[in-house]
Amino acid sequence: IVPNGKIYQGGQISLRVTVRDALNQAMDEELERDERVFLLGEEVAQYDGAYKVSRGLWKKYGDKRIIDTPISEMGFAGIAVGAAMAGLRPICEFMTFNFSMQAIDQVINSAAKTYYMSAGLQPVPIVFRGPNGASAGVAAQHSQCFAAWYAHCPGLKVVSPWNSEDAKGLLKAAIRDNNPVVFLENELMYGVPFEMSEECQSKDFTIPIGKAKVERQGNHVTLVSHSRFVGHCLDAAVVLAKEGIECEVINMRTIRPMDVEAIEASVMKTNHLVTVEGGWPQFGVGAEICARIMEGPAFNYLDAPVTRVTGVDIPMPYAKILEDNSLPQIKDIIFSVKKTLNI
């Protein structure tokens, strides 16, 4: 928690909390609330987590509940899925979701499909969490976004928080959920502080999975995004507002099940839609939103084609200037909004 970060708003005490600390609070509260919950992964215990998200938990809960694993994702993801089948509620941390490809068989075939294949007899209450998408300067093998990969698979819930409130409320909801949840964090967001209201600081605070949030009201164009790029959309909206263009910004929060109704309601109001994501364009989150809008009642309200702002369709380059040009920037969002509004 950022020191001296108390902000008083209408009698409510709001704190400035980083995304890292919000995730830590969520896990701490759920470990305390339910003794079936435990955390396992590389470096999560003695080292306090590769990104310090599990700081202090090993000292508080000990070796039985906070477990350091060898560098073998397929092995420890399999152990976690088995533990979930046996009645525990594991949180399985991947040091990055790029490494979850080692364990994708466990996530998809063992976790996601078992409840259906057992005719509802065998739930698998597990959370797979860790940083997803591009960080900075880690090149192609460590920079991809897995939102579309995992959201493609029935049986999984896929969550992608942006700010501290999202991180805490959604992680608590994910741990309490009886289904496997893929929880996609963003490494570049961990150290960013956000205001958290008194309500969010409560131990009972959760955010329902499957509901989007309108972060900014507007009536000219709808911007839909998830994770880090929600912030980019809000920054672009501030710039565009100075030119008289009012953007409505929707933070998806959950990729699967997707809150299509929230997007449709906004499109029916603004008549224009731009999707923004850090992943690749082909078969991406934006592509799915386009298809759902085409097939649903909001299509007749569109005054222009939907525009997608995405990462570039290449493996991520290492050089910083190339990396910057491979990810959506605020200027790209502004350009796409103006193109959509024909300005």
Mean pLDDT for the stretch of residues 299-305:
97
Is 90 in contact with 38 (CB distance < 8 Å)?
A: yes
124-161 confidence digits (pLDDT tens) = 999 999 999 999 999 999 999 999 999 999 999 999 99
- Please give the pLDDT value at position 13: 75
- Please give the pLDDT value at position 11: 55
**Quick check: is 152 catalytic?**
no
13-67 confidence digits (pLDDT tens) = 789 999 999 999 999 999 999 999 999 999 999 999 999 999 999 999 999 999 9
Whether the per-residue pLDDT at 4 is higher than 50: the answer is: no
- Please give the pLDDT value at position 45: 97
Domains and CATH numbers, the chain: 17-201 (3.40.50.970), 213-341 (3.40.50.920)
Cα 169 to the chain's mean position, in Å?
12
Mean pLDDT for the stretch of residues 296-308:
97
Distance CA 156, CA 256 (A): 8
Single out the catalytic residue among 29, 73, 187, 264.
Answer: 73
- Please give the pLDDT value at position 14: 83
Is 19 in contact with 167 (CB distance < 8 Å)?
A: yes
**Quick check: is 142 catalytic?**
yes
Single out the catalytic residue among 43, 142, 195, 246.
Answer: 142
- Please give the pLDDT value at position 175: 98
252-291 confidence digits (pLDDT tens) = 999 999 999 999 999 999 999 999 999 999 999 999 999 9
DSSP of 196-208: E-HHHHSTT----
Distance CA 278, CA 285 (A): 10
Whether the per-residue pLDDT at 2 is higher than 50: the answer is: no
